[in-house]
Structure 1
Amino acid sequence: MNQKTERLRQKYLDNPPQGMTSEDIRRMSEDALLDMDYFLNEDDLLEDEAGVEGFYIF
């Protein structure tokens, strides 16, 4: 496994998301772990668009 993925796994093993256990994290595939991290941090991806709401067509 990739070194970054292992650091991410260790992060979630130390502090599992609500509703999960360390054992759940330990058994996750690399892809599932990356997907979980993406969705848990999805709000951070739009940080530069603070205050912008709605749907716009240009």
Structure 2
Amino acid sequence: MEDKQLVAELKKKYIENPPEGMTPELVKNMSDSDLLDMSYFLSEGDYDDEYDDEGFFIF
């Protein structure tokens, strides 16, 4: 997936359902880099099953 396409999908997702403390207008005006960073940090906990307590990948 291209970065522009990913950014467009993330922007649409977060405009429709903004994170707590944000408004759709704030999301709309975010830079691509800020949007990608926000998405990374918001989804960081979604990968807990892949990592053990030390943060290493378990094979």
Query: TM-score with structure 1 length normalisation?
Result: 0.79
Determine the C-alpha separation between the residues in 1 that align with 2:39 and 2:54: 25
Following superposition, the deviation at residue 11 of structure 1 comes to 0.2
Alignment match, 2:29: 27
Determine the C-alpha separation between the residues in 2 that align with 1:46 and 1:31: 24
Dislocated runs of 4+, deviation >2 Å: 52-55
Determine the C-alpha separation between the residues in 1 that align with 2:44 and 2:54: 17
Larger Rg: 1
- Percent identity reads 42
Determine the C-alpha separation between the residues in 2 that align with 1:54 and 1:48: 11
Matched, 1:17 2:14: no
Query: TM-score with structure 2 length normalisation?
Result: 0.77
Gaps spanning 5+ residues in structure 1: where?
Answer: none
Determine the C-alpha separation between the residues in 2 that align with 1:9 and 1:53: 32
Alignment match, 1:53: 53
How many residue pairs align between the two structures? 54
- C-alpha deviations, 1:9-44, integer Å up to 9, x for none? 000000000000000000100000000000000012
